[in-house]
Amino acid sequence: MYSEKVMDHFKNPRNMGEIENASGVGTVGNAKCGDIMRMFLDIDDNGIIQDVKFKTFGCGAAVATSSMATELVKGKTIQEALEVTNKAVMEALDGLPPVKVHCSLLAEEAIHAALWDYAEKNGIKIDGLEKPKSDISEEEEDEEY
Ligand code: FES
């Protein structure tokens, strides 16, 4: 059911933990499954994501997608990080079963929420970034469980 990459990131998550005094922290959840994901970003003066950590209280796919998402944004610019969509995360993991797609959305939203927090703390606007939802289940009414 799961690709080898998903299993690998689930069993050996990369960048798990937290960053003290992070530049931006984002927490998102899904009220339907009850899973929560938190992302910490350390962004330098040039807008490069120097470090990223995550904490996920959720299913295996949520752990795997957060782990992969951190790998995809580390060392990137803010704009590049914005392009790390849930699709990109899923592709990097060689796919997810349809009922687990929302787990990858949690990863995308967590990154956006952390970037939003960073922008607010610094009084800047990040082009293309919209205010993230804190509960992603609002937008998946049609999905079946
Ligand atoms: Fe909800 Fe995976 S089952 S995040």
CA distance 62 to 106: 7
Share of the chain above pLDDT 70, in %: 95
H helices within the chain, ranges in order?
A: 4-11, 60-73, 78-82, 86-92, 101-122
Atom 1 (ligand 1): residue with closest C-alpha?
A: 33
Number of domains present in the structure of the chain: 1
How many H helices and E strands in the chain? 5, 3
Q: Which domain holds residue 117?
A: 4-128
| pLDDT (tens digit per residue) in 31-46 | 999 999 999 999 999 9
Instruction: Tell me what pLDDT residue 2 has.
Output: 96
Is residue 139 situated within a structural domain? no
Would you say residue 64 has pLDDT above 60?
yes
106 CA closest ligand 1 atom index? 4
pTM to 2 decimal places = 0.94
Is residue 10 situated within a structural domain? yes
Instruction: Tell me what pLDDT residue 140 has.
Output: 60
Q: Give the mean pLDDT of 112-121.
A: 98
* Residue among 28, 59, 139 whose CB has most ligand 1 atoms within 8 A, to mutate: 59
Would you say residue 131 has pLDDT above 50?
yes
Is residue 80 situated within a structural domain? yes
C-alpha 72 – ligand 1 centre gap (Å): 20
Instruction: Tell me what pLDDT residue 138 has.
Output: 75
Say which CATH number the domain at 71 has: 3.90.1010.10
